Amino acid sequence: MDLTIRPRRLRTCDSLRRMVRETRVSPDSLIYPLFVVEGENRKEPIQSLDGQYRYSPDRVGEAVAECMEAGVSRILLFGIPNHKDACGSSAWDPNGVVQQGIRAIKAACPECYIITDVCMCEYTDHGHCGILNGHEVDNDKTLEVLAKTALSHVQAGADMVAPSDMMDGRVSAIREILDSNGFETTPIMAYSAKYASAFYGPFREAAGSAPSFGDRRGYQMDPHNRKEAVKECALDVQEGADILMVKPALSYLDIIRECSDAFDLPMAAYSVSGEYAMIKAAGKAGLIDEYRVMCESALSVYRAGADMLITYYAKELAQAMKKGDLG
């Protein structure tokens, strides 16, 4: 057969396939979610997230050391306090659980880059992401406490803050308070397009953050909407975000692609707890090759346009990248 163009020519051996790959990834792009809980000498397995743990501040250095050894030097820190109240006051306490965790991590491993999740759901006794007015979250009152929380994280030593609440105007409020306190160079990673997803279930058990009534559809995005994600990203760009994020990842690859194409800022994607738990469960049941599915699903996120990936598989993916199994 007279074929001038034969795409298979570039697939004939592993060395050639690696040379012509379009999507290339690095452990530098990986961010590992880490949970810190109040108390001492605590390393608690998270039942809903096989292989993940909650650490007290005096032991969180162990988790960071494992990350660094695997080649992951960036973490996204979540806090689980003992005390919760209606306004989530422990979120901005200078000696709160996240603030303790930041200081402990920086003391144990100064080169670890700490990004902190800024939201109220882990700290409020009602589990919603802000201050309530009746049974509704008051957007503008919430901005003040989010800003105070972000500032307290940076004062404790956080390198970057990541507001995940989906309140209108929160990036601007955080940017203003950071700048006015001398933290003009501290970047903000905005959870720009965060959908009201069914994939968050395991996280809510891990962080004890399930709402005590209602749901979060009044502030998180409707999964049906695409154009709205572009609008949300555009607003965060205007307000001073340095990195945009789409969450979850796998069911929103089209959103990652569209927003990545539309904006010049770096794009992050969060492969959330439900995605991780499904792969883990299917692998344990012998239904899939867990390692290969882990690699393939992560690759799909990068191929869609993500520059960085927040994932509970960060350590394993870093090793896969080093071996060349992921790029």
d(CA 54, CA 238): 36
Is residue 131 within a helix (H) or strand (E), and if so which, with residue range?
A: none
Spatial neighbors of 216 by CB under 8 A, at least 6 apart, are 128, 129, 166, 196
Is residue 315 part of the annotated active site? The answer reads no
Helix (H, G, I), strand (E, B) or coil at 137: strand
- The separation between the first and the last C-alpha atoms of the chain, rounded to the nearest angstrom, is 34
Identify the active-site residue in 84, 106, 148, 247.
247
Q: Contact at 8 Å (CB) between 117 and 78?
A: yes
Active-site entry in 84, 194, 280, 315 = 194
CB distance 213 to 126 below 8 Å? yes
Is-catalytic flag, 84? no
Residue 308 three-state SS = strand
Which segments within 100-163 are labelled E, that is strand? 113-118, 132-133, 136-137, 160-163
Query: Is residue 162 classed exposed, middle or buried when 0-12, 13-18 and 19+ CB atoms within 10 A define those classes?
Result: buried
Tracing tokens 């589990």 back to the chain, one arrives at 127
- Phi-psi domain of 115 (left: phi exceeds 0; alpha: psi -120 through 50; beta: other): beta
Active-site amino acid positions: 194, 247
